[in-house]
Amino acid sequence: MKSTTTNSRRDFLKMSAITGGGLVLGFNWFSAEASAPVVFSSVAAGDIGFNSYLSIATDGTITIMSPNPELGQNIITSFPMVVAEELEADWKKVKVLQANLDNKFDRQLTGGSGAVPHSWKLLRNAGATAKFMLIEAAAKKWAVPASECTAANSFVIHSRTGKKLGYGELAEAASKIPVPATVKLKDRKDFKLIGKSVRNVENHKIVTGQPLFGLDFYREGMVFAMIQRPEQFGMKLKSFDGSIAKSMPGIIDVVSFKNNVAVVGKSTWQVLKARKMVKIEYEKEFALESTEDHDKLFLNLMDNGQATVRRKDGDVDAAFKNAAKVVKGEYQCPFISHSPMEPMNFFAHVRPDGVELVGPTQTPGRARTEVSKLLNIPEDKITLQLTRLGGGFGRRLYNDFTVEAAELSSIIKAPVKLIWTKEDDMTAGTYRPAVRYRFEAALDASGNLTGYKLRGVGINSGNPTRENNFPSGAVENLLIDSVEHKSPITTGAWRAPITNFLAFAEQAFIDEVAQAAGKDPVQFRLDLLAKAKKSPVGDIRYDISRMEGVIKMAAEKSGWGKKKDVSQGFSVYFSHASYVAQVADVVMRAGLPVVKKIYAVSDCGQVVSLNGASHQVMGGIVDGLGHAMYSKLSFRDGAADQNNYNTYRLIRMKEVPEIETHFVDNGIDPTGLGEPALPPTGGAVANAIFKATGKRVRNQPFIEEDVFKTIS
């Protein structure tokens, strides 16, 4: 390939004729800093070596590559929709392909609900620029002004004469049109795809069981491997005896590296059986912690820990000294496992001339970097083929399994597929950290919130506060700080990191304060926001109007304050640049609270695919509810008590309430959606349970709280 300077536009097109007809309008999807357009000297159709392109074949088939890992957030459908919208492509003629790891892409990862917000304008520009060139090509052919031509449904149409040419027929000529410096994007009122319900492009493959996932990847001659890791956090490998395992059928080798003992064999089952026969001795490296220790530690550090101040406004001591009423509440959550349905796995083949990696990761670029560092092999000698991910929830942000596979392949000098069992996945980290929060509020005689304190104590949690979130900015005197305990138990980001629990605690506490102030919980929140708007205190990082918007709409849609037959709880949260308010309807059945329905109003800006978006919201709510209600990992001497779905409880079909989703239609560019619907759920449910029972659930999982225990 060579660079051209025919156009100064920095962030766009690369193009070329495909050998044997058809045309590639390649483009750099993401990088605003990319260099001038590049012409590929020859591109074979479907050649994934050039995967940052949209191509138009002579038969009119439009191929759009989707670079980000797909784990159920539906990016493989929504990204191409945005390109196709501006391209005026006939969606039925669009073929979508998952791209492999490629430096041409910027931010080729799945995490932080950031893909659509990050790429929105670039994707639109990509489609619009190609459309411009197709129109120019047609106009040239017809010798008419381009202004008389329009594009629709993969055709360019000359409005005056009604002449039309398909994109396939125009592709080659279009490739010779100079790339425009700027293009006009569509008015959102003219959107035909964006905001509509478009089905997942991989549905057919999913429902017919075609190989899509990492675990489905097989390569002739590859071997299978499982690793025995220490069962207790704090232990390290001392010695092992793999002789019995090695003599078992199908077993090729038993090797160790770091704290791992790996069993390599010809089939998954043989390896799984042989692994049980490896005798391993461990020795203590760090303290072996138990949940009992953590409970004591939380209480001790809450009062005596060395706290790091995260935000301080006004004079908190004075506010509490002068308070007419002080409200206190403490909330605690356990570790939880991500536990995606597809256990961790990766294929690696370390050869003398390079490394081939295949599998499911949320961060392919980081995986490559880690493997490069470990094996001292340059990154450009490492390829990574992305498979569909059978869920992630943050677990696949970490590439321990990729690195293990690569290290093992380099030791045994063979292509290897490393498989974790569900037990491996649940007992070896990387968990949502356990955290305890203490909230304190000072109210004056009129019930105004004059002081607010939050201390978060977490185990490997970093900063477990979101110090600039609501109600910061609405309270004159505020102190938010945190204490961290370092533990050998490994933790990491879990869908809606930190806020997956903090939001519940905070929204439940806000209700406690509203109750103490004698105010309606919705009105109390709106009053605080009005105050923040009128006289903001310090830095405000959330959009007050957008938050007010979802609160009001959720109150309206749920019939807040008007229902007699259900107890309602309210919650609202800002995360990943989006705003979600929820109302939970709870009824009592046989003395126990039952969640009947959850209303969700989301402001995530422009919705891309409506059914995809509502699916994310519903999934987020089910995830938030399920983990708030049922899930926990406890520890004894550094080992997890729960290791599979028989002891670690996930929500099931009969436990999900009805869910009603609404979106604010405000035309703002998209903000995140994969995570923001999860945080508010626990709070809405907890507040409804309080209304129904007079009892406040303060600890997760709720199911272990007194209110869920029937009197025997």
- Report which of 252, 113, 253, 247 is spatially closest to residue 673, judged by C-alpha positions: 113
Judged by CB under 8 A, does residue 270 bind other proteins?
yes
Tell me the window of 631-639, 649-657, 686-694, 703-711 that interacts with other proteins (CB under 8 A).
649-657
Judged by CB under 8 A, does residue 695 bind other proteins?
no
Find the binding residues for other proteins in span 385-404 (CB under 8 A).
388-393
Judged by CB under 8 A, does residue 575 bind other proteins?
no
Judged by CB under 8 A, does residue 268 bind other proteins?
yes
Judged by CB under 8 A, does residue 279 bind other proteins?
no
Q: State which amino acid sits at residue 368.
A: R
Tell me the window of 125-133, 302-310, 433-441, 643-651 that interacts with other proteins (CB under 8 A).
643-651
Instruction: Estimate the crossing angle of helix 364-375 against helix 400-412, to 10 degrees.
Output: 40
Structure tokens at 193: 């795809």
The answer to whether the peptide bond before residue 701 is cis (omega within 30 degrees of 0) is yes
Q: Which residues pair with 239 in a beta bridge?
A: 281
Tell me the window of 239-247, 263-271, 539-547, 586-594 that interacts with other proteins (CB under 8 A).
263-271
- The dihedral formed by the CA atoms of 198, 203, 204 and 208, expressed in degrees to the nearest 10: -160
Judged by CB under 8 A, does residue 561 bind other proteins?
no
Smallest gap from residue 434 Cβ to other proteins (A):
21
Tell me the window of 9-17, 213-221, 469-477, 569-577 that interacts with other proteins (CB under 8 A).
213-221
Q: Which residues pair with 481 in a beta bridge?
A: 309, 455
Judged by CB under 8 A, does residue 513 bind other proteins?
no
CB neighbourhood size of 160 (10 A) = 11
Give the chain's radius of gyration (CA, Å). 28
Tell me the window of 46-54, 153-161, 374-382, 644-652 that interacts with other proteins (CB under 8 A).
644-652
Residue 46: partners with Cβ closer than 8 Å, 6 or more residues away = 63, 97
Binding mask 527-556 for other proteins (x = CB under 8 A): ------------------------------
Q: State which amino acid sits at residue 372.
A: S
Judged by CB under 8 A, does residue 218 bind other proteins?
yes
Structure tokens at 539: 């830095």
Answer for the pair 450, 443: CB distance below 8 angstroms, yes or no: yes
Residue keyed to tokens 């028989």: 646
Smallest gap from residue 336 Cβ to other proteins (A):
12
Looking at 432, 455, 615, 691, which residue binds other proteins (CB under 8 A)?
Answer: 615
How distant is the alpha carbon of residue 494 from its chain centre?
8
Judged by CB under 8 A, does residue 220 bind other proteins?
no
Looking at 421, 515, 523, 699, which residue binds other proteins (CB under 8 A)?
Answer: 421
How distant is the alpha carbon of residue 39 from its chain centre?
35
Residue 358 exposed, middle or buried by CB count within 10 Å (0-12, 13-18, 19+): buried
Question: Could you give phi then psi for residue 575, rounded to 5 degrees?
Answer: -155, 155
Find the binding residues for other proteins in span 101-160 (CB under 8 A).
none
Find the binding residues for other proteins in span 312-371 (CB under 8 A).
339-343
Q: Which residues pair with 227 in a beta bridge?
A: 262
Judged by CB under 8 A, does residue 651 bind other proteins?
yes
Answer for the pair 498, 112: CB distance below 8 angstroms, yes or no: no
Structure tokens at 82: 């945005």
Structure tokens at 76: 């493989």
Looking at 12, 40, 155, 224, which residue binds other proteins (CB under 8 A)?
Answer: 224
Judged by CB under 8 A, does residue 447 bind other proteins?
no
Looking at 239, 269, 296, 556, which residue binds other proteins (CB under 8 A)?
Answer: 269
Pick 64 or 198: Cβ nearer other proteins: 198
Judged by CB under 8 A, does residue 203 bind other proteins?
yes
Please report the DSSP string for 400-426 in residue order: HHHHHHHHHHHHHTS-EEEE--HHHHH
CB neighbourhood size of 1 (10 A) = 13
Looking at 88, 106, 506, 623, which residue binds other proteins (CB under 8 A)?
Answer: 623
Number of amino acids touching other proteins (CB under 8 A) = 63
CA distance readout (Å), 263 to 277, 351, 420, 429, 593:
10, 20, 12, 21, 48
Tell me the window of 106-114, 210-218, 231-239, 477-485 that interacts with other proteins (CB under 8 A).
210-218
CA distance 292 to 284: 19
Binding mask 72-111 for other proteins (x = CB under 8 A): xxx-------------------------------------
Pick 16 or 681: Cβ nearer other proteins: 681
Smallest gap from residue 213 Cβ to other proteins (A):
6
Q: Which residues bind other proteins (CB under 8 A)?
A: 71-74, 197, 199-200, 202-204, 206-213, 215-216, 218, 224, 249, 267-270, 273, 339-343, 388-393, 421-423, 611-612, 615-616, 618-623, 626, 644-646, 650-654, 656, 659
